[in-house]
Amino acid sequence: MDRTVLPEALRPFTDFVIAAVGALLIFTVGWLVSKWLHRLLLRVALARQLDRSLAMFLAALAQYAVLVAVVIAALGRVGVETTSVVALFASAGLAVGLALQGSLANFASGVLLLLFRPMVIGDTVTAGGHSGKVEEIGLFATNLLSPANELIVIPNGQVTGGSIINHTARGTRRAAIEIGVAYGASIEAVSAALMLAAARTGRVLKDPAPRVIMSGFGASSLDFVVHAWSTVDDFLAMQDELRRAIYEALSAANIEIPFPQLVVHKAA
């Protein structure tokens, strides 16, 4: 449109209408681009097998970043001073960040857990001072199910703030069964009986092979440890069966399992 043919009084309105149309066009195109970027990032993240919660968060974050830039560009098109708008967004972000320091720390920890995957749903772990099976890894908290069927909700900041022991990541677990026998027993006979007990326990894996270690001299007993491996699913049942087999093997070999004794000498 040739604005020179318009009356002088209408020209400012014409400039505003043109600017408004341009701003609307910028916003429309930007909104479409943000939706397309959201879908693209979500598809790429899921294809790379990222956790769905993390994938949706990253896609939404990219979408909102584009929308903020689009809003600033559209406001600048209609003559709004964008420097003040950017400063306003920065101030609001700082205020929210200060008010939600703990929540943001848990959120950042949740992103790290979902990104680096030190544990996944179904793993048995010790984290944040608690042990249990992982039921959910959220952006703010991780849920564990304890052996007593208790739901434990741990803030993610506590999970990443200490060590994480993943008991099931390798697929197998090793038990250490401690047993004491009476002084005077043959070490070779005890070792043979304990190895026989491990061999007779069906859930004990042959590879890695079980082994017996003499661990020390107790106050009332010679102390041994039986190391035995099993699959993750058989771990608890294997320990029960192995303890029973150890007791039966020692009884069959007439090897005494002593109880604490206190010898008192009476002065004449």
Domain that holds residue 79: 3-99
| Within-domain flag for 234 | yes
pLDDT band at residue 262, thresholds of 50, 70 and 90? Answer: low
CATH of the domain at 229: 3.30.70.100
pLDDT at 88: 62
Q: Is the pLDDT of residue 46 over 50?
A: yes
- The verdict on 127 and 152 lying in the same domain is yes
Report the number of distinct structural domains present in the chain.
Answer: 3
pTM of the model: 0.62
pLDDT for the residue 259: 79
Tell me what pLDDT residue 4 has.
52
Mean residue pLDDT across the chain: 83
Percentage of the chain exceeding pLDDT 70: 81
Whether residue 185 is found in the same domain as residue 214: yes
Let me know whether 131 and 185 are in one domain: no
At 45, which amino acid appears? A
pLDDT for 178: 96
* Residues 144 and 178 occupy one common structural domain: no
Residue 113 lies in a domain: no
- Give the pLDDT score at 100: 45
Same domain, 187 and 234: yes
- For residue 266, what pLDDT is reported? 73
What is residue 195's predicted lDDT score, i.e. its pLDDT?
96
Determine the pLDDT at residue 146: 93
58-72, 81-95, 216-230 — which is least confidently predicted? 81-95
Question: Tell me, what's the pLDDT at 249?
Answer: 96
Shared domain for 146 and 200, answered yes or no, is no
Whether residue 203 is contained in a domain is answered as yes
Q: What is the pLDDT of residues 149-207, one digit of tens each?
A: 999 999 999 999 899 999 999 999 999 999 999 999 999 999 999 999 999 999 999 99
